[in-house]
Chains A and B, each alone.
Chain A
Amino acid sequence: MPDTNNDFELVRSFVSGNESSFNKIALKYQEKIYWHARKMAGNHLDADEILQEVLLVLYGKLKNFRFKSSLYTWIYRITATRSINFIKRKKVRQFFSLEDKETGSLTGGNDIIKNLEDKEKLKRLESVLQEIPVKQREVFIMRNFEELSYEEIAEITGRSIGGLKSNYFHAVKKIYELMKDE
């Protein structure tokens, strides 16, 4: 978990008018936001849009942040919510044919991963994750990649621990079935 005391100082400084403190907060957390969004959305363009959206929300709401949870948890909560909302919005747009279904998976020239081998690995991971339902995917990412406890995930998502365990269990089962023959 990131340094909470430093976060407190940064937020206080930003609230008292120091704009550069927000830059520091953004620099500190943007990668975490991006990679969560990337695994949730499955491509760079959408992850980038989610990242910008989360930063905008942070900029607007940071003045009301009261440290009832850690800044990290709060940012993660915003990221998780925004990612799921973005995916839902995208599905609706695709359903009404407002957006080409292929657009989202165009990563080639727009991707930030230049190494071809890494790009292929991540592409495979993204395609596997896209096969599981959104809420199961969310819990799997938090639990497996972020190594968060169920208590931490419950605080971020606002869901019950029992439900989260069930989501994770079914996500692992599905992923195993998808990858066992590779």
Chain B
Amino acid sequence: MNNKDKIILYMDNQLSPEEKQKFEEDLQNSPELQHELENYKEVFQKINLMNVHSADESYFVNNVPAFREKLEKKRKIYLYKRLIYASSAAVIIIFVLSLFLFKNVETVPGEGESLTSLSDEQINNLAENYNVLEADTSLSAIADSVWDELIVDEFNFSYENADSILHSFNGSISYADYLNEEEASLVYDRLINKEFF
């Protein structure tokens, strides 16, 4: 450790008691060291003299009111921002909700038309185009044939007889009217165990 380092530590009171004692002994015997120490002290004196705090009083007096003013402005900006965010969020929510609502009301059949705005004729045309009626007819045919088959099996009717009975009543009476309770129950059981599709 050179003298300059020792001086800095000595002035900062960072030397151990032994080091301090040794330094002070050296100091007494060395005019050069004394001179160097004086130089350091002078520099510190200068720098401490430069540390002036003679400020304009009004600055500190007005600082707190000025701070309050800034704080108020910040609060207003904060509230304004929150208002903007809330409005934006509301617009987005309304937009999204409206999308869902319009989707449910307007069932688009293909060309942007609402079903409610179509005439009966247009609906029938659409149904034909989409084979809806054909599908129903074909289902009815399957159901009829299963029914006929059951009637023929249960009552030993020929297909012709079963068919003529149906036509003679012109659909105004059902087969069930000819059945007693036990037979009806049997037909019902057979029907529910039958695999239609």
Interface residues of A (CB under 8 A from B): 23, 26-27, 30-31, 34-35, 39, 51-52, 55-56, 59, 112-115, 118, 121-122, 124-125, 128, 143-145, 165, 168-169, 172-173, 175-176, 179-180, 182
Indicate whether A172 sits within 8 Å of B12 (C-beta atoms), given known contacts A30-B60, A51-B63, A52-B67: yes
Indicate whether A169 sits within 8 Å of B8 (C-beta atoms), given known contacts A23-B64, A30-B64, A56-B71: yes
Chain A residues with CB below 8 A from B48, complex form: 144-145
Q: How far is the CA of A42 from the CA of B59 in the complex (A)?
A: 18
Chain A residues with CB below 8 A from B71, complex form: 56, 59
Name the residue of chain A whose CB is nearest to the CB of B54.
Answer: A118
Q: How far is the CA of A25 from the CA of B47 in the complex (A)?
A: 30
- Interface flag for B82 (CB, 8 Å): no
B67 and A55: CB pair below 8 A? yes
Indicate whether A118 sits within 8 Å of B52 (C-beta atoms), given known contacts A169-B8, A175-B47, A182-B46: yes
B8 and A173: CB pair below 8 A? yes
Chain A residues with CB below 8 A from B145, complex form: none
Interface residues of B (CB under 8 A from A): 4-5, 8-9, 11-12, 14, 39-40, 43-44, 46-56, 59-60, 63-64, 67-68, 70-71, 74
Indicate whether A165 sits within 8 Å of B14 (C-beta atoms), given known contacts A27-B64, A112-B55: yes
Q: How far is the CA of A165 from the CA of B14 in the complex (A)?
A: 9
B53 and A179: CB pair below 8 A? no
Chain B interface mostly: helix
Q: Which of A39, A112, A172, A182 contacts B59 (CB 8 A)?
A: A112
B46 and A31: CB pair below 8 A? no
Chain B residues with CB below 8 A from A30, complex form: 60, 63-64
Chain B residues with CB below 8 A from A35, complex form: 53
Name the residue of chain B whose CB is nearest to the CB of A182.
Answer: B46
Q: Which of B50, B56, B67 contacts A112 (CB 8 A)?
A: B56
B47 and A144: CB pair below 8 A? yes
Chain A residues with CB below 8 A from B4, complex form: 173, 176
Q: Smallest distance from the beta carbon of B41 to chain A beta carbons, Å?
A: 11
Chain B residues with CB below 8 A from A124, complex form: 50
Q: How far is the CA of A34 from the CA of B129 in the complex (A)?
A: 85
A26 and B64: CB pair below 8 A? yes
Interface pairs (6), CB distance under 8 Å: A27-B60, A34-B60, A112-B55, A121-B50, A125-B47, A144-B47
Indicate whether A114 sits within 8 Å of B56 (C-beta atoms), given known contacts A172-B12, A176-B40, A179-B46: yes
Chain B residues with CB below 8 A from A125, complex form: 47, 50-51
Q: Which of A51, A143, A169, A180 contacts B43 (CB 8 A)?
A: A180
Indicate whether A172 sits within 8 Å of B8 (C-beta atoms), given known contacts A52-B67, A112-B56: yes
A-B contact sample (12 more), CB < 8 A, given A26-B67, A30-B64:
A23-B68, A27-B60, A113-B52, A113-B55, A113-B56, A118-B54, A121-B49, A122-B51, A125-B47, A169-B9, A176-B4, A182-B46
Chain A residues with CB below 8 A from B49, complex form: 121
Chain A residues with CB below 8 A from B44, complex form: 144
Chain A residues with CB below 8 A from B9, complex form: 169
Q: Smallest distance from the beta carbon of A135 to chain B beta carbons, Å?
A: 17
Top 5 closest pairs, chain A to chain B, by CB: A125-B50, A112-B59, A118-B52, A121-B50, A112-B55
Q: Smallest distance from the beta carbon of B18 to chain A beta carbons, Å?
A: 18
Chain B residues with CB below 8 A from A118, complex form: 52, 54
